[in-house]
Amino acid sequence: MERFTITKDENNFTFLQEDITSAIEFRRLLHQYPELSGEEYQTTLHIKEVLEAHQIPYESVLDTGVTAIIEGELPGATIALRADIDALPITEQNDVSYKSKHVGVMHACGHDAHTAMMLAVCKILKRHQHLINGRVIIVFQPSEEDAPIGGAGPMLEAGVFDTYKPEAIFAQHVWPGLELGKFGVMAGPIMGNSDRFKITVKGKGGHAAQPHTTVDPVIVTNQIITAIQSIVSRNVDPFDPAVITIGQINGGFAPNVIPDVVELKGSMRSLSDASRQLMKTRLLNISNEISDAHGAEVDVEIKTGYPATVNDPEWASVVRNVIQESYGSTSVPTLRPSLAGEDFSKFLLEYPGVYYWLGIDEDEPSYPLHHPKFDVNEKAFEFGIDILLKLTISALDQLNN
């Protein structure tokens, strides 16, 4: 059964129901056997097996992950598509036939779906090489969840695009909270800067009955936590989204002992570079000044993570037009950016392109990303595959003309 047809030069560029069915089956295979960042060996092997079965050439620049190359029979531009392949350290709570068999590891961010849809795109493009003017590089990227290092940066450093440099690059991400058949496309920032920090407060411990003989790091840490929340509310421009979150506090070992050390860890997220730098500076100043006031020592470690994911405005317009031509003007609603981090941003620092969202909600809201009950609505596959294909052809045509 033919699903969708792209008319190109009086030829039909089609994909079939069996392409969707095969993609869903592959996604369920990956879902049952998820692998953490940097450990995606079997996932990579499964991808290579499919590529080899369809005589699609590929190369590897890291231990995991793979890059497929589709050469059109006609000369033209080069573009790239990217799918992330790694899973998360989460124990799945869904009761489904394809539930994760790896306890403590789960595809809770949809990377199994991204990989499966992109493999379907590979196979369909291979089938229609005679209609392709140019070259398509498909990057199956490892370690997206491994912030602050990630997988995009190491792939770039290892020369993933040394042989063929793309003139544009695109990525698609399933998105709970967005209706099935809808897409999230934005010009400019769509995902935030994401940095992590660790603050270690060193005091002088002692007996709980004699606090006057100690320098209590618990009190110091408490004041630091309260004060750094004023960074967003009192220092950052209220029209420039930002958030600071404390996610972990460690200190003490008995209720009647004032500890020597308390450690806290958290994250800072923002959209603009100005707010990103301001938050780092204020975090350092506040931590040092409060600690000094109490006679404590402090060590502040800030790990710069993924930069904001910033879409090229012209290419965002192309993506929006491709979607709306297929699904109508309401298929790309006005949305706000997310402050979650995404290492596709590193590709976008080097090459113009677009990262966009694929809606999966139907009837009831989906569980959020990174939740132990998150699951992908597989009805989204036909929309995702369709737009990836149409975007590929449209982008090549745009560049070639």
Supply the CATH number for residue 35's domain.
Answer: 3.40.630.10
Domain C-terminal end among 284, 306, 328: 306
- Mark whether 126 and 247 lie in a shared domain: no
The closest of 178, 151, 187 to 35, measured between CA atoms, is: 151
- Mark whether 301 and 313 lie in a shared domain: no
Helix (H) or strand (E) holding 270: strand 261-270
- Mark whether 81 and 102 lie in a shared domain: yes
The closest of 393, 322, 390 to 3, measured between CA atoms, is: 390
- Mark whether 12 and 116 lie in a shared domain: yes
Cis peptide before 368 (omega within 30 of 0): no
- Between the alpha carbon of residue 96 and those of residues 77, 83, 317, 326, 374, the distances in Å are 43, 24, 39, 32, 12
Is 378 among the residues known to form the active site?
A: yes
Q: What is the pLDDT of residues 195-243, one digit of tens each?
A: 999 999 999 999 999 999 999 999 999 999 999 999 999 999 999 999 9
- Mark whether 345 and 389 lie in a shared domain: yes
Annotated catalytic residue within 98, 306, 355, 356: 306
Asked if the model's pLDDT at residue 144 lies above 80, the reply is yes
- Mark whether 102 and 10 lie in a shared domain: yes
- Using 50, 70 and 90 to split pLDDT, how confident is the model at 2? very low
Q: What is the pLDDT of residues 273-293, one digit of tens each?
A: 999 999 999 999 999 999 999
Q: What is the pLDDT of residues 346-397, one digit of tens each?
A: 999 999 999 999 999 998 899 999 999 999 999 999 999 999 999 999 999 9
- Mark whether 19 and 117 lie in a shared domain: yes
Mean pLDDT of 308-330: 98
Boundaries of domain holding 152: 2-191+308-400
- 127 compared with 3, residue with greater pLDDT: 127
- Mark whether 185 and 200 lie in a shared domain: no
The pLDDT, as a whole number, for residue 12 is 66
- Mark whether 197 and 144 lie in a shared domain: no
Is 306 among the residues known to form the active site?
A: yes
Strand segments (E) across 273-336:
297-306, 309-311
Asked if the model's pLDDT at residue 1 lies above 50, the reply is no
Is 128 labelled as part of a ligand binding site? no
Mean pLDDT of 78-82: 99
Is 145 labelled as part of a ligand binding site? yes
Asked if the model's pLDDT at residue 8 lies above 80, the reply is no
- Mark whether 246 and 328 lie in a shared domain: no
Domain C-terminal end among 263, 289, 306: 306
- For residue 33, the SS3 value is coil
The pLDDT, as a whole number, for residue 7 is 56
The pLDDT, as a whole number, for residue 14 is 78
The pLDDT, as a whole number, for residue 16 is 84
- Percent of the chain's residues with pLDDT above 90: 94
- Using 50, 70 and 90 to split pLDDT, how confident is the model at 302? very high
- Mark whether 179 and 199 lie in a shared domain: no
Q: What is the pLDDT of residues 32-51, one digit of tens each?
A: 999 999 999 999 999 999 99
Alpha helices in 300-352 (DSSP H): 313-327, 344-350
Residues 6+ apart with CB under 8 A from 92: 99, 100, 106, 108, 372, 373
Is 362 labelled as part of a ligand binding site? no
Domain C-terminal end among 263, 287, 306: 306
Is 212 labelled as part of a ligand binding site? no
- 118 compared with 14, residue with greater pLDDT: 118
Strand segments (E) across 17-132:
58-59, 66-71, 74-84
Rg of the chain over all Cα atoms, to the nearest angstrom: 24
Asked if the model's pLDDT at residue 174 lies above 60, the reply is yes
- Mark whether 328 and 384 lie in a shared domain: yes
Structure tokens at 105: 């590891």
Give me the number of domains the chain comprises: 2
The pLDDT, as a whole number, for residue 15 is 81
Annotated catalytic residue within 71, 263, 297, 378: 378
The pLDDT, as a whole number, for residue 5 is 60
Is 71 labelled as part of a ligand binding site? no
Residues 6+ apart with CB under 8 A from 383: 180, 181, 183, 327, 358, 359
The CATH number given to whatever domain includes residue 238 is: 3.30.70.360
